[in-house]
A = this chain, B = another copy of it.
Amino acid sequence: MSGALPRAAVVLSGNELLDGRTRDTNGAFLSADLSARGVKVTSVLTVADDEERLTAALQYSLAAAPELLVVGGGLGTTHDDLTAACLARALGVSLAEDPAALGMVEERVRWVAERRHLDFDELFPLARRQASLPAGSTPVPPAGVAPGIAARRGPTRIYAYPGVPYEFEAMWLSTARGLRGEGFFPDVAVRVVRIFGVGELQVAPLLEAVPHDLLETGINVGRGEVTVRLRYRRGAPADAQAAAVVAALEAAAPVFSSDGRSVDDLIADGLRERGLTVAVAESCTGGLLGARLTERPGSSDYFLGGVISYASEVKMALLDVPAGMLAQYGAVSEEVAGAMATGARAAMGADYALAVSGVAGPGGGTAGKPVGLVYVACAGPRRMKVVRGLYPGDRASVRDYSIAAALHLLRRELAG
């Protein structure tokens, strides 16, 4: 069904996005927003502040005749700000000062000059070039100083905004309100099915085995989870097909969520609804599990605290792990992970405690305890459960998988 959805291309201009100085946020924000509105983003092209390259990027993006082209960056007062000129070239029109744009720039410069006690007559000549637009286009009211540009070529609506993230986001959302009013966005539904414990290779055949021609499907893998996303135009036949796909996955795969909630959501809801608390004891993850559990506002309702027991002495002193157990089994063992969880639960008076002990690498691995070996334990009111994992990848990857294993262990214990 994806052929029926409007398509969008995105062009981002800025050297700082290409030399490792700045990570893009505008492209990520816009892609997620457009996707949720039922628009298929077919390309995001980040390009250097160079007249030839930016013009070629606009031409490339227009060549696919998308319904929408959004351009970020390159609208401002410096010689690097080339978006208006390049867009004019790509459209085959001239650049000219637009009276409406000039009015917007003048008003915004007056506001800035007053607020910062600067001289309007000095600032305005510099800012004035921001009022030059490709002939036939119209200005988009600025969120900062620079107006955006709205233009059209054939089937493509073109919008250009400054690259400053809050200006870009505010101006796009304003445009999107207008587009919604015109009925530009399709009436789509998004359903997300989340699976933990099997790989993509086991999930893909389940999806293939049920009819899904009315749905746009995507399978994604990360942090040990497989995510199946269904997007479709609302309507009885597509709704029924989506429900059948979800039911088929639930019947044959370890689906833990089909209502959009993440494992973090399920844990937060499960603890909060029942007034339960959790604590952590972390070795190889060094605090990442606590950081993850406290990422969301209000986590103090159920998260009490933790012990980062990197050194053996800390495991003994703060978590009451017996010295003899450490000597006999080693820090990375089922026994010690269990003792860490039990110790953290007791020390912090929590209903549940999660513990992680493993070899994150790259050093420290042995034949019996290779890099990637991780024990995750959950001590709860009814029982203690330990899970062993052997995770691939580098230090960051092993730590990431360990967090996922711990969160899913807690989720299952809360559900069971």
Q: Spot the interface stretch: A239-247, A264-272, A284-292, A320-328.
A: A284-292
How far, in Å, is A76 (CB) from chain B's closest CB? 9
Q: Which residues of B contact A377 (CB under 8 A)?
A: none
Is A218 in contact with chain B by the CB < 8 A criterion? yes
Instruction: Report yes or no: B297 in contact with A347, Cβ–Cβ below 8 A.
Output: no
C-alpha spacing A223/B76, complex, angstroms: 18
Are B60 and A64 neighbours in the complex by a CB distance under 8 Å?
no
Q: Which one of B18, B204, B297, B347 lies within 8 Å of A317 (CB-CB)?
A: B347
Beta-carbon contacts under 8 Å, A299-340 to B: 299-300, 303-311, 313-314, 317-318
Query: Which of B16, B18, B287 has a CB less than 8 Å from the CB of A294?
Result: B287
Residue contact B318 to A309, C-beta cutoff 8 Å = no
Asked whether A22 and B222 contact (CB < 8 A) given A166-B397, A288-B287, A313-B349, the answer is: yes
The answer, yes or no, to whether A409 is at the interface (CB within 8 Å) is no
Residues of B within 8 A of A219 (CB): 78
Which of the 9-residue segments A43-51, A93-101, A249-257, A380-388 touches chain B?
A43-51
Q: Is the CB of B311 within 8 A of A305?
A: yes
| Contact of A42 (CB < 8 Å), options: B23, B47, B78, B300 | B47
> Is B42's CB under 8 angstroms from A18's CB?
yes
CB within 8 Å of B: which A11-44 residues:
15-24, 27-28, 31-33, 35-36, 40-44
List the B side residues contacting A362 at CB < 8 Å. 297
A210 at the interface (CB under 8 A from B): no
Contacts A307-B306, A310-B303; A19 near B35 (Cβ below 8 A)? yes
For residue A395, which residue of chain B has the nearest CB? B297
Contact B297 A287 (CB under 8 A): no
- Tell whether, in the assembled complex, residue A294 and residue B306 are in contact, meaning their CB atoms are under 8 Å apart: no
CA of A308 to CA of B44, assembled, Å = 40
**Chain B residues within 8 Å of A150, by CB:** none
Q: How large is the interface on A (under 10, 10 to 19, 20 to 34, 35 or more residues)?
A: 35 or more
> Which B residues lie within 8 Å of A313 (CB)?
304, 348-349
Residues of B within 8 A of A393 (CB): 166
Cβ of A130 under 8 Å from chain B? no
Question: Across the interface, do A298 and B53 meet the contact criterion of CB distance under 8 Å?
Answer: no
Residues of B within 8 A of A293 (CB): 286
> Contacts A43-B57, A314-B348 given; 14 further ones with Cβ under 8 A?
A18-B42, A22-B222, A43-B47, A77-B201, A115-B390, A166-B392, A280-B287, A294-B310, A295-B396, A299-B310, A300-B311, A305-B309, A317-B347, A318-B347
Chain A interface (Cβ < 8 Å from any Cβ of B): 15-24, 27-28, 31-33, 35-36, 40-48, 50, 53, 56-57, 60, 63-64, 77-78, 115, 126, 144, 165-166, 200-201, 204, 218-220, 222, 227, 229, 279-280, 282, 284-295, 297-300, 303-311, 313-314, 317-318, 347-349, 361-363, 390, 392-397
